[in-house]
Each structure stands twice: as C-alpha cells, then as structure tokens.
Amino acid sequence: MISEKMEKALNDQINAELFSSYLYLSMAAYFEAENWTGFANWMKIQSNEEYEHAMKFFHYLKEVSGRVTLAALEKPKTEWNFPLEAFEDAHKHEVYITKRINDLVELAQLEKDYATNNFLQWFVNEQIEEVASVAQIINKFRIVGDNKVALYMLNNELGSRTGS
C-alpha cells in the first residue's frame, strides 16, 4: 500500500521526531542543572510532544502495512550560554522539522499517495503552531533582556505549561 521510498522517508521522520524529543530532553537537563525549572518544564513537555509525533508516524506505518525501522539517534547538544540560546536552537530545529514535513508532503503528492498526504496535513498544521510558539518565547526573551526579575517571571510563566 505504501511505496518503499515513502516508507523509508517516514522511517527517517520517525528518527527525526525521536531526535527532537531527545534534543528537548537535553535542553530540559541543561535548564535543570542551571536551576531554570520553568524552562525545564516547558522543554520536558515539548520532548513528550515530539515523542508523540514519532509514535503517530510509527502507528501510521503499521496501518499502511509498512515496516518501522528505527535508527541510532545523534547525540544532542548539551550546553548553551544562556536560556535564550537554547530557545533559538529550538526554533531553528522546528524550522528544520517543518521543511522535512513539507518535503514529505511533496513526496506524497509526487507519488499520488493520497492517504499519506492526508495523514501529513496534521503535521503541516502542527508545525505552524510549533514554530510560532517558540518564536513567541524568543520575542519575550528579547523584551526582558538581562532583567533578572523579568527572566524569573518568564521562567515561572513557562513553568506553568501543562501537557496536552
């Protein structure tokens, strides 16, 4: 039901989503070590969301009689100079994942794989939210600058995030 090329591409995306989860968990560990528990909370929830994304691909491949083939994960970065830098890296990563999703949509359209194209639309919409969410946080960091009280408040604000 699914081509070998599409199966490989979706397996590659599972790996990318698992790496995303791993990267955000690494960011959470960094924030925990630096006593930014609110930022750590936000990243842990983001890590869980990315794992859920990987599992959506995992289950979809099963539904279309594909085979899931997991690959090794690259070691994520573990240190940042300032919390803003970690969120900037998160934004760059979400832009990268958005391009990957768009490439998958393009492949599905080229192959006339309407089922996969339909499945991927959820991710197209999700990536709009993912990129915008991190961009909004980056804008808040830029507004507060080096103001320690404002950083403390932003840390508390991001600490109030709850899982979906």
Give the torsion sign (CA, 65, 97, 44, 139). negative
Distances (CA, A) of 110 to 3, 96, 106, 130: 12, 21, 6, 26
Give yes or no for residue 164 having a pLDDT over 90.
Answer: no
- In tens, the pLDDT along 17-69 reads 999 999 999 999 999 999 999 999 999 999 999 999 999 999 999 999 999 99
Report domain extents, the chain. Answer: 4-159
The predicted pLDDT at position 163 comes to 81
The pLDDT score that the predictor gives to residue 1 is 80
CATH code for residues 4-159: 1.20.1260.10
pTM over 0.75: yes
Which tens digits make up the pLDDT trace of 12-30? 999 999 999 999 999 999 9
Query: Where does residue 113 rank: exposed (0-12), middle (13-18), buried (19+ CB within 10 A)?
Result: buried
